[in-house]
Amino acid sequence: MFSIRIVRRPLCHLTMALLLSTICISLSWAGPDARALLKESESRHRTRTQLYAGELTVVNKEGKVRKKGWKSFREGYASDAKNLIRFIDPPEVKGVGFLSLARPGGQNPDQWLYLPSMKRERRIAAQDRDASFVGTDFNYEDMEEFDHEKYKVALKGEQHLDNIPCYVIEAIPVEKVGKSVYEKKILYLRKDNLYLFREDLYRKGEKEPAKRMVLADLQQVEGHWVARKMEMKDLKKGSTTTVLLKEIVFDRPQATGRFTLQNLNREGGD
């Protein structure tokens, strides 16, 4: 059985897009099924580990720009994924860390934020999943690994976006154990490589999407499709967060104990 999952975190999106694109051709002859599409996408784009340096730019509605730099590490995939982000720039925020560890059984992952000034980590509670991730347009749920098995999915049709044909898939959180801040998500998968192209996020009780994520600048790195640019727009606030991915490396062994609280709390630990 395939267990393809769309990964929400930047790297994971890129990986998933890569996977999806490869199954696109094989599915073109038959009437496609949303679950099968997502599984195939995961299968194509799955990687064991991923490292990259991110350049984060937040532009608010007044046009004020804030830039940050981080390093991202991932091990595992979807339901067993471990992620560590360490801010490296500017100096005032250097050392701030974020650790996310997936939990089994469809539960929400454990997440912690480390602040060097306090020399201690703080746990992100379930109630805070909709809080902004350090002032970006991503929230803490957006930072989680996306597991399509936690969603009821349905193919809603096909659509051309920027002249690229896409499958339109509706994903509704099942919420058996873990809760979601979203009522539904609309995923746009490229038909050519089953890579995620766009995602519209609908908050509970809202008819219009609250946020929109677009993956762009799709390139092949070490044999994997990767979107080097990821843009999250808050459609209500009018702000945009862009992550540019650099120095991308796949499937390298990770340092022992990298994804632990001890390492998160270690000054300069990565």
Catalog residues that contact other proteins under the rule CB under 8 A. 58, 60-61, 66, 68, 87, 92-93, 95-96, 113, 115-118, 120, 122-128, 131-132, 134-135, 137, 234, 237, 239
The span from the CA of 9 to the CA of 260, in Å, is 19
Long-range CB pairs of 180-189, under 8 A, 24+ apart, other chains included: 180/129, 180/141, 180/150, 181/129, 181/130, 181/139, 181/141, 182/141, 185/151, 186/156, 187/6, 188/159, 188/161, 189/17, 189/20, 189/37, 189/38, 189/41
Looking at beta carbons only, is 122 or 246 nearer to other proteins? 122
For other proteins, the closer of residues 131 and 161 by Cβ is 131
Q: Are 87 and 93 in contact (CB under 8 A)?
A: yes
Q: How far is the CB of 129 from other proteins (least distance, A)?
A: 9
Nearer to other proteins, 176 or 252 (CB): 176
Span between the terminal Cα atoms of the chain, in Å: 34
Nearer to other proteins, 30 or 118 (CB): 118
To other proteins, the closest distance from the beta carbon of 134 in angstroms equals 4
As measured in angstroms, the least distance from the Cβ of 172 to other proteins is 21
The nearer residue to other proteins, 134 or 168, going by C-beta atoms, is: 134
**Nearest approach, Cβ of residue 61 and other proteins (Å):** 8
List residues bridging with 227 in a β-sheet.
218
The nearest distance, CB 93 to other proteins, in angstroms, is 5
3-state secondary structure of 3: coil
